[in-house]
Amino acid sequence: MSDLALFFSWAEKPPSDISPYDVDGYIQYCLSKRLSPLTVNRRLSSLQLFYYFLSVVNEEPIECPVISKRYFLSKPYPLPRNASEEQIKILFLLIKDKRDKAMFTLMLECGLRVGEVHNVSLEDVLLNDPPA
């Protein structure tokens, strides 16, 4: 209820007059207040459920102005942190299999991702120095 109260006090319009452009403006307003994407998504979800409720209880349904694929914000993911030299030494002490050590070395030293290491074949590896 509080999400709906916040939206409609911001919009100052009845539910039947709300358009997707109003939702655009509300999202910009929320982001300008530095609200997290999760909070904005929750508010949009509340608004969407409210319009669903209106479509069920009213004989003449009101079209929902919240377009799911257009509005919902993606959650930001934190960047990976670098491992310290001590953490890397501990990791390599725990790895016993030579193949696993080679895979982790490739990821660490060459910056390969798991999928890239998975797709490496013996033909991809140069065992001797390349010709001059």
Per-residue pLDDT tens over the stretch 40-83: 999 999 999 999 999 888 888 788 898 877 777 776 667 677 88
Half-sphere exposure in the Cβ direction for 115 (13 Å, CA)? 0
Contact 27, 66 (CB under 8 A): no
Global pTM exceeds 0.85: no
SS3 content of the chain, % helix, strand, coil (to 5): 65, 0, 35
The string of pLDDT tens digits covering residues 93-105 is 999 999 999 899 9
Residue 132 has pLDDT above 70, yes or no: no
Distance CA 73, CA 103 (A): 36
Q: What does the block give as tokens for 41?
A: 């998504």
Q: Which class for 46: exposed (0-12), middle (13-18), buried (19 or more C-beta within 10 A)?
A: middle
